[in-house]
Amino acid sequence: MSNQHPIIPPPIVREQWFDDAVRLNSTPKYYIARQAALWGADQQLEACCEWLFMNGYDNSHVTSARLRAARRPKPPTLKEQALEALEALPTPAGQVTADRLDTIRRALEQLDD
């Protein structure tokens, strides 16, 4: 297999992954495998977006942005995670009351993300 294939990361990137694995006290082969999978997926996604543009699809920049958002969703914010955790709390008698939960929920909803 040629090292010129666009999905194969350049040597300097692979070396950085190894250095990162050592620095993070991670098993290099697993860390590098994970990084390589992410790299390859990102390269494929960008190739798809470029293909849309090169083949004249209407609003290809909008379509590419939507494709990126769908394939690389952002993790939930801390606020979203807190609200989800709040919804999952049980409310047995003598513990967290519905009124208190509502107060916490309203406070969280007012926070910026």
24-66 pLDDT per residue, tens: 998 999 999 999 999 999 999 999 998 988 888 877 788 888 8
Q: What was the pLDDT predicted at 1? A: 47
**Do residues 17 and 31 lie in contact, with contact meaning Cβ atoms separated by under 8 Å?**
yes
**Do residues 36 and 8 lie in contact, with contact meaning Cβ atoms separated by under 8 Å?**
no
- 14 versus 4: which is more confidently predicted? 14
Model confidence at 3, pLDDT cuts 50, 70, 90, reads: low
Tell me the whole-structure pTM to 2 decimals.
0.59
The Cα–Cα gap between 51 and 96 comes to 54
Q: What was the pLDDT predicted at 91? A: 65
In order of 33, 73, 91, 97, 100, the CA distances from 38 in angstroms are 9, 14, 41, 44, 42
